[in-house]
Structure 1
Amino acid sequence: MSRYVAFLRGVSPMNARMPELKHCFEAAGFSEVKTLLSSGNIVFNAQSTSLSSLERRAEQAMRSELGRSFDTFVRPVCYLQDLIDSAPFAEFGLAPSAKRIVTFLRSPMSPDVKLPIERDGASILKAYATEVLSAYVPDPKQGPVFMRLLERSFGKDITTRTLDTVIKCAKA
């Protein structure tokens, strides 16, 4: 059995309860299921298989149990831990107040996207095969500029977490 993290797009306390999501993942046949925070982070054990297969199983279980589904992005805990251990933001000299963001892509990034991209205080810094690193300094007057920049660059089939959240998920 391997340990995985599922990052669900668009989950908030207003549209999904964590106990219900936990039940969906258990109904999908996953074990040692645990939810973290209230933003659609689910850690679970499963037999090793393709990530897309795990994503489909989770999404099908949500449709069956909840009558709706959230786009699901699964990564092995060991993969996330390797990413964390590499200190992925160290080379950028970011301000202490900058939010460090990891965006999960459904499929590898297009080679046409040239990085870095900067706009309105948000920066897309670096990309791996299916993860993108970005950073921004929060500005209440501008709202979520970084999300608009990410969606414009990579489409809406993505989900985003702070590095702190990714660290918590990898440790769970």
Structure 2
Amino acid sequence: MNRYAALLRGIMPSNPNMRNEKLREVFDGLGFDKVATLLSSGNVVFHCRDAGEAELEDRIQEALNRELGIPGGTILRSYEDLRALIDRDPFAGLKHERGSYLTVTFFKDQSPEVAPPDSVDELTRVIGYDDQARAFLTVIDNSTPRTTDFMAWLDRTYGKDITTRTWLTVQRIVKKLDT
């Protein structure tokens, strides 16, 4: 049995069709086992016998669009891939805390065509790109009321086939998949 995390883009818990119970219903309806949601930001973990990530992403996205009107943005990662990312400890020595957010931006496809800069603005430090996880690793300075331009830059530069999670969320997803 394979374990996966579906990282959904653009989930707004205030939309009744995007609430966790609705998301779980769609995944249950697809025949997946041990379906669970984490937080209210579009993180769904599940077990299934299928092993093709691209096919699973398409199947899930079609069902979310058909049943709930959610237009797009399903990115899958296997438990093994996420566990390996955590084990590599890409944020060694850094802490996710109130003034400093550690973030992981997952790409649907392999490597982005544009390499990440060292920084997009003074509030964002790019740690690097992790090929195995297909993800940018960044530290966001959250100690000021100013907002970073990083998310807008990501969308402008790479399009919509990406989604960002905090490092704490990635760790929680892996812990949920451990059970």
With normalisation by structure 1, the TM-score equals 0.89
Q: Post-superposition, which runs of at least 4 consecutive aligned residues in structure 1 deviate over 4 A?
A: 93-96
Contact 1:102 1:163 (8 Å CA) reproduced: yes
Relative to structure 1, is the Cα distance of residues 63 and 114 closer, same or farther in structure 2, using a 3 angstrom cutoff? closer
Q: Is the 8 A contact 2:121 2:148 kept in 1?
A: no
Match of 1:13 in 2: 13
Aligned equivalents of 1:116, 1:140: Cα separation in 2 = 20
**Aligned residue identity for 2:171:** I
Q: How far did residue 17 of structure 1 move?
A: 0.8
Change (3 A) 1:62 1:138: same
Equivalent residue in structure 2 for 1:154, among 128, 137, 158: 158
User: 1:114-153 to 2 correspondence within 5 Å?
Assistant: 114-129=116-131, 130-139=134-143, 141-153=145-157
Q: Where in structure 1 are there 5+ consecutive unaligned residues?
A: none
Contact in 1 for aligned 2:2/2:51 (Cα 8 Å): no
Distance 2:150 2:68 in 1: 31
> What is aligned with 1:86?
88
Question: Which sections of structure 2, spanning at least 5 residues, go unmatched?
Answer: none
Which letter does structure 2 place at the counterpart of 1:10? G
Aligned length: 171
Counterpart position of 1:77: 79
Q: Residues 23-77 of structure 1: CA distance to partner in whole angstroms, max 9, x if unpaired?
A: 0111122111000100000000011422111111111111222133341010001
Residue 60 of structure 2 corresponds to 58
Distance 2:56 2:24 in 1: 15
Q: Percent identity?
A: 35
1:120–1:153 Cα change, 3 Å: farther
